[in-house]
Amino acid sequence: MQTLFSEAQLADPHTAEANRILRKCVHCGFCIATCPTYVLLGDELDSPRGRIYMIKDMLENDKPASAKVTKHIDRCLSCFSCMTTCPSGVDYMHLVDQARARIEDTFRRPLPERMFREMLARVLPSPTLMRLALFGARLAEPLKGYLTKSLRNMMDLAPRSIPAPSPVDRPQVFRALGDRRMRVALMTGCAQQVLRPAINEATVRLLTRHGCEVVVAKGAGCCGALVHHMGRKRQSLAAARANVAAWQRVADLDAVVINASGCGTTVKDYGVMLAGDRDWAAPAAHIAGITRDVTEVMAELGLKETVPVDAPVIAYHAACSLQHGQRIIDQPKALLADAGFELREPAEGHLCCGSAGTYNILQPVLAARLRDRKAANLEKTGAGAIATGNIGCLVQISQAVDLPVVHTVELLDWATGGPRPEGL
């Protein structure tokens, strides 16, 4: 793609990065066929190629974001299926990140929308506030008809029961069982420890059983992905710095282990996010370099001999952030097969389920269509349960299927001596 940025514009490192990304696009359109919003809507502006043209025009002409650009960028899930498909290696992820930040800085949304997004940015990254909000949602159920559409949509996503906080999520060290093979820091996350604390508990059991000393570091918290994808750059960078600082204080650290693939995609990008910060660039790049999804670590360690279990057939849902964001495709499936599970993969496995961080809250209509499409394909496999590696996908899919939906790590823990996952 030809670009016409001025020399003055290219002096800005962010503009120079956008220019490099844009010039790789050759207009081939391969991305269109795998873009969930284009598949649903058939609108070129709701495809990666269409969004790239709009971003180019906005940046090249140094224009504030318009309502039209904002609408179509907001509809992007950041599933990055387009990046898997693209033969030219267009770094759409960092280009759309720039577009979202520019929208946040230059476009004034209607007041109710601004207030709602501000609430999401404050509540969702905080386990304490999120837990209070979920309790509040249950209490406010009789008043639902009087609330705004956005709040009603959000209430529909709230679980009927809220698990108690897990002691696993507090700062501490879990010793390895037997000889120590690795020392790792576990990111306990924000939403996950509220919605499904059993995932972190299963992860600790699995890792310690396989020779890992697991550290839950004081000061580590939300990865910053939720606000990052809302264009709130300052807030996301603050989250990144806090996590880097927390994990830097852990001595002899071999890896940062993440069991929510949406978080993993963001933490692995900390080196890029903080590249322009002289004080944080090097430590952020180091942390990004040692960050691993839990299935990457377990593939390296190898599963211990598995315990026979009366296991259902498993339909494996590949989270977008895992298969497209981190390009982790084979390890989860190989581990589940080694653990003795029969796996089936659904049709359209490359398409997003519609969760995508805050997408199912901010774009509920499109998210529901993608959810129902995904649920139908998963149920057609005839499996008895569904496994996935991301809490957002787990919650989203659970709303549309009668099958139990569990995290991959819960199954691996069960197969190697842990408890049967709840719901199976």
341-389 pLDDT, tens per residue?
Answer: 999 999 999 999 999 999 999 999 999 999 999 999 999 999 999 999 9
Asked if residue 82 and residue 22 are part of one domain, the reply reads yes
CA–CA distance, 109 with 115 (Å, rounded to integer): 10
CA–CA distance, 92 with 44 (Å, rounded to integer): 16
Neighbour tally for 24: CB within 10 Å = 14
Q: What is the pLDDT of residue 91?
A: 96
Total number of domains constituting the chain: 4
What is the average per-residue pLDDT within 99-104? Answer: 97
CA–CA distance, 296 with 301 (Å, rounded to integer): 9
Asked if residue 314 and residue 288 are part of one domain, the reply reads no
Q: Exposure string (b/e) for 336-345, b if CB count within 10 Å is 16 or more? A: beebebebee
* CATH number assigned to the domain comprising residue 28: 1.10.1060.10
**Displacement of CA 303 from its chain's centroid (Å):** 25
Q: What is the pLDDT of residue 370?
A: 97
pLDDT of 145 over the 80 cut = no
Q: What is the pLDDT of residue 316?
A: 98
pLDDT band at 134 (very low <50, low <70, confident <90, very high): confident
What is the average per-residue pLDDT within 209-230? Answer: 96
pLDDT of 109 over the 80 cut = yes
Q: Is 99 a domain residue? A: yes
Domain end marker among 266, 298, 330: 298
Asked if residue 87 and residue 30 are part of one domain, the reply reads yes
What is the average per-residue pLDDT within 221-227? Answer: 95
Domain with 148 in it:
111-157
Asked if residue 292 and residue 402 are part of one domain, the reply reads no
> Which carries the bigger pLDDT value, residue 199 or residue 144?
199
Q: What is the pLDDT of residue 237?
A: 97
Asked if residue 268 and residue 215 are part of one domain, the reply reads yes
Asked if residue 327 and residue 244 are part of one domain, the reply reads no
pLDDT > 90: percent of the chain: 89
What is the average per-residue pLDDT within 234-248? Answer: 97
Residue 367, C-beta contacts closer than 8 angstroms, at least 6 positions apart:
354, 355, 356, 359, 360, 396
Helices 281-290/233-248 angle, 10° precision: 70
CA–CA distance, 360 with 347 (Å, rounded to integer): 22
Asked if residue 115 and residue 102 are part of one domain, the reply reads no
Q: What is the pLDDT of residue 144?
A: 73
Give the lowest-confidence range in 139-148, 181-190, 415-424: 139-148
Reading the block at residue 111, the tokens are 């007041």
CB 222 within 8 A of CB 125: yes
| Prediction pTM value | 0.93
pLDDT of 156 over the 80 cut = no
Q: Provide the mean pLDDT of the chain.
A: 94
pLDDT of 148 over the 80 cut = no
Q: Is 364 a domain residue? A: yes
Domain end marker among 244, 273, 298: 298
CA–CA distance, 172 with 284 (Å, rounded to integer): 23
* CATH number assigned to the domain comprising residue 368: 3.40.50.1860
pLDDT band at 135 (very low <50, low <70, confident <90, very high): confident
Q: Classify residue 175 as exposed, middle or buried by CB count within 10 Å of its CB (0-12, 13-18, 19+).
A: exposed
What is the average per-residue pLDDT within 129-157? Answer: 79
pLDDT band at 210 (very low <50, low <70, confident <90, very high): very high
CA–CA distance, 163 with 195 (Å, rounded to integer): 7
Q: Is 2 a domain residue? A: no
Q: Is 1 a domain residue? A: no
255-258 vs 291-293, strand pairing mode: parallel
pLDDT band at 327 (very low <50, low <70, confident <90, very high): very high
Asked if residue 248 and residue 176 are part of one domain, the reply reads yes
What is the average per-residue pLDDT within 19-28? Answer: 94
Asked if residue 52 and residue 71 are part of one domain, the reply reads yes
CA–CA distance, 293 with 187 (Å, rounded to integer): 10
| Three-state DSSP class for residue 206 | helix
Asked if residue 387 and residue 333 are part of one domain, the reply reads yes
Report the half-sphere exposure of 227 (CA within 13 A, side-chain side): 22
CB 316 within 8 A of CB 387: yes
- Candidates 271, 282, 274; CA nearest to 233 is 274
Q: Is 423 a domain residue? A: no
What is the average per-residue pLDDT within 166-184? Answer: 96
Region at 65 (left for phi over 0; alpha for psi -120 to 50; beta for the rest): beta
CB 137 within 8 A of CB 158: yes
What is the average per-residue pLDDT within 24-39? Answer: 94
Q: Is 380 a domain residue? A: yes
- Candidates 91, 77, 93; CA nearest to 37 is 77
pLDDT > 70: percent of the chain: 100
Q: What is the pLDDT of residue 401?
A: 96
Asked if residue 238 and residue 325 are part of one domain, the reply reads no
CA–CA distance, 167 with 171 (Å, rounded to integer): 9
pLDDT of 153 over the 80 cut = no
Q: Is 422 a domain residue? A: no
pLDDT of 158 over the 90 cut = no
- Candidates 226, 227, 223; CA nearest to 247 is 223
Q: Is 162 a domain residue? A: no
Strand partners, 187: 258
What is the average per-residue pLDDT within 323-330? Answer: 97
CA–CA distance, 264 with 288 (Å, rounded to integer): 9
Q: What is the pLDDT of residue 406?
A: 97
Asked if residue 121 and residue 55 are part of one domain, the reply reads no
Neighbour tally for 139: CB within 10 Å = 8
Domain end marker among 298, 332, 365: 298
